Chains A and B, each alone.
Chain A
Amino acid sequence: MTIRNKAAVVGVGATEYFKRGQSYPESEFSMACTATLAALDDAGLTVDDLDGFSIYSNSCDPAAVAAELGVPEVRWATTLTSGGGGCAGALGVAAAAIDAGMATAVVTLMTLQQLTKRLGGSAVGGMLQYALMSEGSSPYGGSGIPPSAAFTANNGLLSPGHSFALLTQRHMHLYGTKREHLAEVCISERENAIKRPTSLRTEPLTLDDYFNARMISDPLCLFDYTMESDGAVAVVTVAAERAKDLRQPPVYILASAHGGTGRWGPALFRYFQIPDDEFASSGHRPVAKRLYEMAGVGPEDVDVALLYDHFSPLVIMQLEDYGFCPIGEGGPFVADGNIRYGTGTIPVNTHGGNLSEAYIIGMTHVREAVEQLRGTAVNQVEGAEIALTTGGPASLPVSGTLLRKG
């Protein structure tokens, strides 16, 4: 018994996307409400129908949203632990709640305003906080200084970028992955973003631009990093049977999985005791295996992949871990044009991703997956039937969801 095809995403809502801080005087809370209302409206539902919240990274306080919007009764309120890795998996939790009869209409959302805070600790206070966190804390804030902090606090590894640079350097060492390969991820996503009106980065990006960009943390340069953005995206999930009668064509949750190898643990965030055979990876391998088993499909059946891209090399590692190419061959795979929209074998991040459209901690990927399967995407993949969307690499859980056209 699984959640396979038991539930469907029936509504999508979003605010405008903003450069960091520019969503003011809106707040994270107000944008969460705006996106939720828009998602309900898109589905042809109202607040009276909403009874569940399945979120990740504690994106909002369901209590506050329910009170603000006048939700008659909350029957389900969960968050996946840790950070952005739970993005895709929160849809699976929504489906599980609905399939178990615990809730009937569940919203999954992310809202983000980087006005006074900046994720990843690139602001001064956050930097120290990041440096001092350890087990029992998250990349988005900790409390107190645990004894283990003294083992890493003075080592100069201060931000997620530094951490992902270490995975990338190891991948390059083991497999010969090159900066040209990372560039292809950035350039292909930019090409997709240019055509999409919601995108924050629409100027063309050339290989020369890429190699002329300043290095931030070798081997990562400016363009390998996600943008910092503001905005909110919400989706509404209901039972498959009910989905047929709503306003939009249903997009079924074919399968969903979250988690990862236990020893991956907090992974990049002040840990680094990842087993050797998984160090230069996205941490998604066990999740991918369970996902495909639940779905009864394989990577060859996926028409479009929306891969969490906080840093470009992690797209390459996810392509390997989700079986689009063998382990270690992700670099040449992208260099051969395989992820390009229109010509590639597996179009990746057709919306422009976190790198070029906007960074709303993964929910833009879910939105794009739904648009692709409704047939309304800006960069529509012809005949798209199955879309993969992922959350992480990050601390566990990381997650993946396969969506299917209705």
Chain B
Amino acid sequence: MTTSEFGELTKGVFPSILRDTYADPKTQPFWDAAWEDRLVAPKCTSCGTFRLPPSAYCFNCRSRDVQWVDLPGTGTIYSFTVVRHPLHPDFAVICPYVSGVVELDGTQGAGARMLVNIIDCDPETVRIGDKVQIVWEHVGDEMSTPRFRPIHGASKARRR
């Protein structure tokens, strides 16, 4: 572990460079739940379409009404990249790290994917289709950074 302007750096873990949620009324419920380590997503009251990040209008039916639904916090890797070249000198410590697109269980494809850092995985063997589960890191006073880690072969969740 190394300390830098981005805080403590650990191989494979992209640091929380944003420490505030900049929430508005349409995103606040997500962060309130996240602070309690729960994953919730807005579901269109009219047609049932999920949409993340939360948006004002449903892209399927244009309704603005949503209900917030608890999700299991598990999902499947839809695509990923192994970042090996540090775009900041300090990031040499964290490279290689894996980031990608996770499709969330309990939703229906595009509209409820999350773009996340995938930790506690072997960059040389990670594959599309791997099952993953969410891990939250609480940052500052209000931010919870979501990451995912493999459901099998994982080490303990990172918290600080």
Chain A interface (Cβ within 8 Å of chain B)? 121-122, 124, 127-128, 131-132, 134, 145-159, 162, 165-167, 169-170, 173, 214-220, 263, 270, 272-276, 279
How far is B82's CA from A167's CA once the two chains are assembled, in angstroms? 13
Asked if A276 and B79 sit within 8 Å, CB to CB, the answer is no
Residue of A nearest to B20 (CB): A150
Residue of A nearest to B31 (CB): A150
How far is B86's CA from A124's CA once the two chains are assembled, in angstroms? 11
Chain B interface (Cβ within 8 Å of chain A)? 14-18, 20-24, 26-27, 30-31, 51-55, 59, 78-85, 87-88, 97, 99-101, 109-111, 113-117, 123, 128-129, 143, 145
How far is B121's CA from A218's CA once the two chains are assembled, in angstroms? 15
Asked if B22 and A149 sit within 8 Å, CB to CB, the answer is yes
For A131, A134, A158, A276, the residue with the greatest tally of chain B CB atoms inside 10 Å of its CB is A158
How far is B128's CA from A395's CA once the two chains are assembled, in angstroms? 24
Asked if A150 and B22 sit within 8 Å, CB to CB, the answer is yes
Chain A residues near B79 (CB, 8 Å)?
Answer: 166-167, 169-170, 173, 279
- 13 contacts across the A-B interface (CB closer than 8 A): A145-B22, A146-B22, A147-B54, A154-B14, A154-B117, A155-B14, A158-B83, A166-B81, A170-B128, A214-B84, A217-B82, A273-B110, A273-B113
Counting from the closest, the 5 A-B pairs by CB-CB distance are A156-B14, A165-B81, A153-B18, A218-B82, A151-B53
Asked if B109 and A276 sit within 8 Å, CB to CB, the answer is yes
How far is B106's CA from A55's CA once the two chains are assembled, in angstroms? 44
Residue of A nearest to B30 (CB): A151
- Distance between A226 CB and nearest chain B CB, rounded to angstroms: 15
Chain B residues near A134 (CB, 8 Å)?
Answer: 53
With known contacts A170-B128, A273-B111, A155–B23 Cβ distance under 8 A? no
How far is B78's CA from A276's CA once the two chains are assembled, in angstroms? 10
Which residue of A124, A214, A272 is within 8 Å of B85 (Cβ)? A214
Which residue of A128, A148, A156, A272 is within 8 Å of B101 (Cβ)? A272
With known contacts A162-B83, A173-B128, A217-B82, A156–B22 Cβ distance under 8 A? no
Chain A residues near B55 (CB, 8 Å)?
Answer: 148
With known contacts A146-B22, A154-B17, A263-B59, A162–B113 Cβ distance under 8 A? no
With known contacts A151-B52, A166-B79, A272-B113, A217–B17 Cβ distance under 8 A? no
- Distance between B144 CB and nearest chain A CB, rounded to angstroms: 10
How far is B81's CA from A216's CA once the two chains are assembled, in angstroms? 10
How far is B109's CA from A165's CA once the two chains are assembled, in angstroms? 20
Chain A residues near B51 (CB, 8 Å)?
Answer: 273
Residue of A nearest to B12 (CB): A156
Chain A residues near B78 (CB, 8 Å)?
Answer: 170, 279
Asked if B110 and A276 sit within 8 Å, CB to CB, the answer is yes
How far is B82's CA from A147's CA once the two chains are assembled, in angstroms? 27
How far is B123's CA from A167's CA once the two chains are assembled, in angstroms? 18
With known contacts A152-B115, A167-B79, A128–B17 Cβ distance under 8 A? yes
Which residue of A166, A273, A276 is within 8 Å of B80 (Cβ)? A166
Chain B residues near A121 (CB, 8 Å)?
Answer: 87
- Distance between A276 CB and nearest chain B CB, rounded to angstroms: 6
How far is B76's CA from A276's CA once the two chains are assembled, in angstroms? 14
Asked if B81 and A169 sit within 8 Å, CB to CB, the answer is yes
- Distance between A57 CB and nearest chain B CB, rounded to angstroms: 22
- Distance between B128 CB and nearest chain A CB, rounded to angstroms: 4
Asked if B27 and A148 sit within 8 Å, CB to CB, the answer is yes
Chain B residues near A275 (CB, 8 Å)?
Answer: 110
- Distance between B154 CB and nearest chain A CB, rounded to angstroms: 18
Asked if B20 and A156 sit within 8 Å, CB to CB, the answer is no
How far is B54's CA from A214's CA once the two chains are assembled, in angstroms? 38
How far is B84's CA from A216's CA once the two chains are assembled, in angstroms? 5
